[in-house]
């Protein structure tokens, strides 16, 4: 199945679940990622987001929904699918959508965002999700040809405060600009009410990660509330 820009319509107002475990964690195994993804599908996820080439491959085999893939390399600066090489590897692993750093920062391979997007479109069938950190990033990413705009990096690049919960102000700002690409709310959507608020702020679809698929964090939230 090739996902086209038109096909994205199936994701309108839907929940996308990000399934990620971090290096060294007990669940950091692509088979586990795929099992968690399949479980999210039972709950009603309309698409799945996963990190790592093997995770993309295993998840593609386990679910029939669109898979958004990324490759995190490093922790600082541009680390979400930072280069065209990373992006094409994610596409070749089977991702329908490749999520890449969609900020205005310089990229390790020296390519611009528009050159990166063009390179992905030229050499794969994948759509491109630009993980943005600000309104200006979102505008630039649309101009660069990205197929979806995500607020993934809001609060992580210094341009926006790290809000408790989703950055609703940013979502409203981008949504009201009428940028004509699906706006994906992502980042710190920790409750069903947050997800609803993100849709009400104008998001086309909502990605939830930690609050559904990261037991260590969720356990910590409960424990913290009990001992506050
Ligand atoms: C900033 C960054 O590295 N975000 C990553 C991007 O894939 C993931 O670590 C997040 O879990 C994902 O964006 C979903 O967000 P949340 O887990 O807050 O629902």
| pLDDT tens string 8-44 | 999 999 999 999 999 999 999 999 999 999 999 999 9
Give dist(CA 138, CA 148) in Å, integer.
10
Dump strand ranges (E) for 7-147.
Answer: 15-19, 47-51, 67-70, 97-101, 127-131
What is the value of pTM for the model shown?
A: 0.98
Ligand 1 binding residues, C-beta < 6 A: 18, 20, 70, 80, 152-153, 156, 186-189, 207-211
For the chain, which residues make up each domain, given as ranges?
A: 10-226
CATH code for the part of the protein at 10-226: 3.20.20.70
Give dist(CA 163, CA 154) in Å, integer.
9
How many angstroms is it from 5 CA to the middle of ligand 1?
Answer: 23
Q: CB–CB of 184/129 below 8 Å?
A: yes
How many angstroms is it from 51 CA to the middle of ligand 1?
Answer: 10
Per-residue pLDDT of 70-117, as tens digits, reads 999 998 999 999 999 999 999 999 999 999 999 999 999 999 999 999
Atom 6 (ligand 1): residue with closest C-alpha? 152
How many angstroms is it from 176 CA to the middle of ligand 1?
Answer: 24
Among 131, 141, 55, smallest CA distance to 90 is for: 55
How many angstroms is it from 19 CA to the middle of ligand 1?
Answer: 9
């Amino acid at each position: 199945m090739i996902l086209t820009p038109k096909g994205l319509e199936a994701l309108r107002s839907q929940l996308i679940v990000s399934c990620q475990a971090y290096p060294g964690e007990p669940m950091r195994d692509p088979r586990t990622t795929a099992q968690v993804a399949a479980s999210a599908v039972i709950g009603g996820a309309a698409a799945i987001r996963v990190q790592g080439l093997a995770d993309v491959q295993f998840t593609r085999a386990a679910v029939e929904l669109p898979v958004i893939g990324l490759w995190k390399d490093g922790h600082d600066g541009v680390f979400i699918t930072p280069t065209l090489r990373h992006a094409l590897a994610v596409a070749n692993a089977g991702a329908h959508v490749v999520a890449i750093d969609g900020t205005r920062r310089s990229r390790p391979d020296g390519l611009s965002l528009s050159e990166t997007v063009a390179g992905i479109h030229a050499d794969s069938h994948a759509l491109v999700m630009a993980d943005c950190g600000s309104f200006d990033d979102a505008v630039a990413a649309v101009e660069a040809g990205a197929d979806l705009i995500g607020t993934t990096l809001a609060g992580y690049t210094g341009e926006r405060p790290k809000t408790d919960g989703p950055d609703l102000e940013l979502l409203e700002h981008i949504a009201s600009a009428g940028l004509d690409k699906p706006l994906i709310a992502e980042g710190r959507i920790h409750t069903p009410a947050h997800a609803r608020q993100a849709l009400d702020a104008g998001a086309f679809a909502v990605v939830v990660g930690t609050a559904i698929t990261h037991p260590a964090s969720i356990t910590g939230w409960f424990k913290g509330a009990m001992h506050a």
